Chains A and B, each alone.
Chain A
Amino acid sequence: MRSLINILDLSTREIDELIETANDIISHPEKYAEACRNRILATLFFEPSTRTRLSFESAMYGLGGRVISVSGESGSSVTKGESIADTARTVSCYADIIAMRHPKEGAPYVASLNSTVPVINAGDGGHNHPTQTLADLLTIQREKGRFENLTVGFCGDLKFGRTVHSLITAMSRYPGVRFVLISPEELKVPSYVKKDVLAKKNIPFLQTTDMEAVMPELDILYMTRVQKERFFNEEDYLRLKDSYILDPKKLANARADLSILHPLPRVNEISVAVDSDPRACYFKQVRNGRYIRMALIMKLLKEAEA
C-alpha cells in the first residue's frame, strides 16, 4: 500500500506529474468535480491545525468525495490508551484514505505500517510535512517556472521547522540550487539535514544570523514561525520568538522578482505591510496547497485500486 510519509517517497518525476495535475485542476476544476465520488477521506488530527485539516477536507470535497474526521486527542480513543497501530487498523475499515497529523515524530509512519489504506503524513512533530512541501513546490514552480538554479533562503526556526527540513530535502534533488540558512544560533538547521542532505550531495549553503546582508542574493525567501509548541521551556521561546520580522524596510535590497513564502500561520515574523507587496506569495501558497492535495489524493487512491 503506497503512502506518503516523507517527501522522498515521491520521485522528482512523480512530483512533476502531481504539479502538472494540480495546474490542470486550477485551470479546469470542473473536470475533477466527481473524481473521488463515493470515496471517504479520514482526517485524524491529534494536534491543533486549521489550514492543513481544512485544506485536506476542502480538497476531498473538491473531488466529490466525503470526509470523516477526528480533531484533537480529547475527541478520540487515544485518550483511552489506544495505540496508533490500532487506530490505523480501525480507521482503515471506515475510510479509503487517511490524512494524519500527530505531535509524535514517526506516528504517521507507524499508522502506514498498520493501515490497509494509504496514509498521508499531514505533519509529525518537528519532523516531516510532505504535503506542505508539495504546496511549496507548486508555488515555486508557478512563480519561478523552474526548480533549478535558485538561491533559496530559509529564515526563522530552522531547527524545529518541519516544513524547512522537507523543502530543503526536496529542493536538494535539483541542480544548481543553493541554500541560505538564516536563524538564531539556537534554531539552526539540525546536523542531520546538513550532513545527510547538504554535505552528502555537495550542495552549497551559507549559515548566517543576518537576514538583511543576504537579502539581495535570494530568489526565494521562506519565512517560518518560531513555534511555541516545540519548546519545552517557555523562557527560550519568549527570547527567540521575534528574532526576525520581515517588513518593507528589510525588503529594500531584495530582488524585484523575489518570491516570499511562508507555511502559515504567521505571528509576527512577516509584517502585514508586506502582504500588499507583489512578491508576497504566502496566500497563493495556501490556495496551491488545496490543489496539490487534490492531485495527491487522486494519485494515491488510483494506486491503491491498481
Chain B
Amino acid sequence: MNVDSIQNGVVIDHITAGRGMRLYALLGLDELDCSVAIIKNVVSVKMGRKDIIKIDADIPVNFDVIGYVDPAATVNIIREGSLVEKRTIGLPPVLTNVIRCRNPRCITSVERGLDHVFRLTDAHQGIYRCIYCETKAN
C-alpha cells in the first residue's frame, strides 16, 4: 500500500499498533480540511507492527496529547519535502484539557470554565491523577 509523501506537514510515526485512531480523535484531526492519512498495522522491524499518521499541512500539534496516548511515538516535521525536526515525546508531566475527570463527585463536573488538569504521579506506570480529586485517569 502506498501513501504519497508530503511536502509540508507532520508525520506521527512509531505509534503503538492500535493507538492511531485514539490519537486521531484526541488530536481533533477529524476537524481538519487538509488530507490526513491513518495507516494502521504497518510492518516495522523495530516494533513488529505500528500505526502512522500523516497530516498534509504544517499545523501545530499538541505534543502533550501524543505523549499521553503513546510516549514512544515520534513526531516528524516536514517542510518543502525535507525533514526539519524529529521529536520524541515521552510522558508529559501535566495534561491540561486533554482528558476529562470521570469522577462524578469531582468539582470539574460542575464548575464552569475550569480546566481539566491531570498530573503524572507515577512515571514508571504512566499514571495520571486529577489535580482536584486525585482520581486516576483511564
Contacts and interface: CB of A to CB of B under 8 A. Distances in A.
B136 A127 contact: no
Given A104-B110, A105-B134, 13 more contacts: A84-B111, A85-B111, A85-B114, A104-B105, A105-B133, A106-B130, A106-B131, A106-B132, A127-B133, A191-B136, A192-B134, A192-B136, A196-B122
Contact of B134 (A102, A103, A107, A127): A127
Given A83-B112, A84-B107, A106 B121 contact: no
A72 interface: no
A104 B134 contact: no
B50 interface: no
Nearest to A232: B104
Interface of B: 103, 105-114, 121-122, 129-136
Interface SS of chain A:
mixed
B107 A105 contact: yes
B63 to A, nearest CB: 25
Interface in A45-66: none
B103 A105 contact: yes
Contacts of A179: none
A83 B134 CA distance: 21
Contact of B132 (A103, A110, A126): A110
Interface SS of chain B:
loop
Contacts of B121: 196
Contact of B107 (A107, A191, A192, A196): A107
Contact of A106 (B108, B112, B122): B108
A191 B135 CA distance: 10
A107 B114 CA distance: 11
Interface residues of A, number: 18
Contacts of A106: 106-108, 130-133
A104 B109 contact: yes
30 contacts: A83-B112, A83-B114, A85-B113, A103-B105, A104-B105, A104-B106, A104-B107, A104-B110, A104-B111, A105-B103, A105-B105, A105-B106, A105-B107, A105-B132, A105-B133, A106-B107, A106-B108, A106-B130, A106-B133, A107-B107, A109-B132, A110-B107, A110-B111, A110-B114, A126-B105, A127-B105, A127-B134, A191-B136, A192-B135, A192-B136
A105 to B, nearest CB: 4
B131 A109 contact: yes
Contacts of A192: 129, 134-136
Interface of A: 83-85, 102-107, 109-110, 124-127, 191-192, 196
A157 B65 CA distance: 37
Given A106-B108, A107-B107, A196-B121, A83 B113 contact: yes
Nearest to A5: B132
A4 to B, nearest CB: 16
Contacts of A127: 105, 133-134
A85 B111 CA distance: 8
B133 A83 contact: no
Nearest to A193: B134
B127 to A, nearest CB: 8
